[in-house]
Amino acid sequence: MGQNVGFVSTRFAGQDGVSLESAKWAEVLWEDRHVSFWYSGKSDRKTDISYVVPEAYFGFPENVWLNDRIWGTEKRSRLVTDRIRALADYLKGTLYQFVETFDLDILVPQNALAIPMHVPLGIALTEFLSETRIPAIAHHHDFYWERTRFAVNAVPEYLDMAFPPSLPNMRDVVINQEAQEQLALRKGISSLVIPNVFDFDNPPEPPDSYAADVREELGLEPDDYFILQPTRIVPRKGIEHAIKLVGQLKDSKCKLVVSHPAGDEGYEYKRMLAQLAREENVDLRFVAERVGEVRQRDNRGRKIYTLWDLYPHADLVTYPSAYEGFGNALLEAIYFRKPVLINRYSIFVRDIEPKGFRLLTMDNLVTSTLADQVRETLRKADYREAMVDHNFELARQFYGYAVIRRNLRAFISSLTGY
């Protein structure tokens, strides 16, 4: 029997992990006749199934005002407390309306009870779930204790209460084993690990006519090696390692292409990367103005491509991150059957590496041995084919939609009896 499921977050829009993974969950739930509805402060979901409350967005001015006064300090004024309470009460009322409007059976908070970017929303959700005892499955992508900027704060009792709460009507889902252990240790809450997934049962279509000219539009020659760094330009992505690697390949045909823009923390980093590329004699291209979330044309009439338009044309994907909660770009590269260079960040070593993927790995250091392996991978088509086919099959087994389907079915039946 199909249930009405309500997803709750500050934002369901764009390419962030929460927006992408929640859409995959909704797809799997739909196969079991469960209908999904969306509550958020910002949304790109269909309007007839969305409940948009601007105050629930983490960038809403009142919430920004609060964040300026509760992080990086250990003291808060009574005014701050009053305004947290007032916004939480208002949002709790909107949650009651959301559940009533769509006649919801289950709520799925998406990261709203894990990372405290919007403290009043976390409080509102916690109190709402406690008052109504509506069944809930909370999907936690990253916790406040994983981020240094939340370490010094003026709201310890709210973090204890709501990020996440311990409620009998709520099941908790995390995306890696480290998070599972920390949640048990810090909160006494047991959880299930459901990693990020991809629809490996439906491989990507070959590029259509729109995406056929990606290489020439980005200024690459047909015989160039297209090395793709499919991330934003932020320091933890370790893009300097990708530059060092391409420098060691000593082949002018190797072009390093960075797909996404610099975040607000990344402009200085971007300048540093450009300087390093000059020193290493690497052809580095920032193509963010040609890549967007949807296909369209810019004001000069040029095509804007999506990241998925770029993947099929790449010869190698670099992913030398220092830290990732899981690593969506790794799964994307495997989905598009591309060889991947990866830095062995802790979650990868613990959760992903033991599965037996064949990847080009480094430990915070680009060695000449690694450069030789990359050269061999780029030049030997049969070696590369065997590698990417092996990875695709493994990923289908461990990171396919079946993983969510199995676990969500068990959760829903334990919560609702169906």
- For residue range 160-183, what is the model confidence (pLDDT) as tens digits? 999 999 999 999 999 999 999 999
pLDDT in tens, 332-382: 999 999 999 999 999 999 999 999 999 999 999 999 999 999 999 999 999
Q: So what's the pLDDT on residue 286?
A: 96
pLDDT exceeds 80 at position 265: no
Beta strands at 170-174 and 192-193: parallel, antiparallel or unpaired: parallel
Residue bearing the bigger pLDDT, 31 or 337: 337
Q: So what's the pLDDT on residue 16?
A: 82
CATH architecture label of 4-197+401-416: 3-Layer(aba) Sandwich (3.40)
Average pLDDT over residues 302-321: 96
What's the fold here for domain 214-399? Rossmann fold (3.40.50)
Amino acid of residue 26 = A
Round to whole Å and give the CA distance between 149 and 279.
33
Round to whole Å and give the CA distance between 50 and 101.
10
pLDDT exceeds 90 at position 2: no
Domain boundaries, the chain: 4-197+401-416, 214-399
Q: So what's the pLDDT on residue 263?
A: 72
Beta strands at 283-286 and 254-258: parallel, antiparallel or unpaired: parallel
pLDDT exceeds 90 at position 411: no
pLDDT exceeds 70 at position 8: yes
DSSP 169-200: TEEEEESSHHHHHHHHHHH----EE------T
Round to whole Å and give the CA distance between 165 and 130.
9
Round to whole Å and give the CA distance between 226 and 222.
9
Q: Do domains 4-197+401-416 and 214-399 have the same CATH topology?
A: yes
Q: So what's the pLDDT on residue 266?
A: 66
pLDDT-based confidence at residue 413 (cuts at 50, 70, 90)? confident
Q: What is the pTM of this model?
A: 0.88
3-state helix, strand, coil in the chain (%, to 5): 50, 15, 35
The answer to whether 283 and 225 are in contact (CB under 8 A) is no
pLDDT in tens, 243-256: 999 999 999 999 99
pLDDT in tens, 282-300: 999 999 999 998 899 999 9
| Segments of 82-224 assigned E as strands | 106-109, 136-140, 170-174, 192-193
Round to whole Å and give the CA distance between 138 and 106.
10
Average pLDDT over residues 103-107: 96
Tokens 């480290």 belong to: 178
Round to whole Å and give the CA distance between 34 and 137.
14
pLDDT exceeds 90 at position 418: no
pLDDT in tens, 78-92: 999 999 999 999 999
Q: So what's the pLDDT on residue 267?
A: 86
Percent of the chain with pLDDT over 70: 99
In 3D, which of 82, 52, 53, 42 has the Cα closest to residue 66?
82
Q: What is the mean pLDDT of the chain?
A: 94
Joined together, the tokens standing for residue 182 give 């920390």
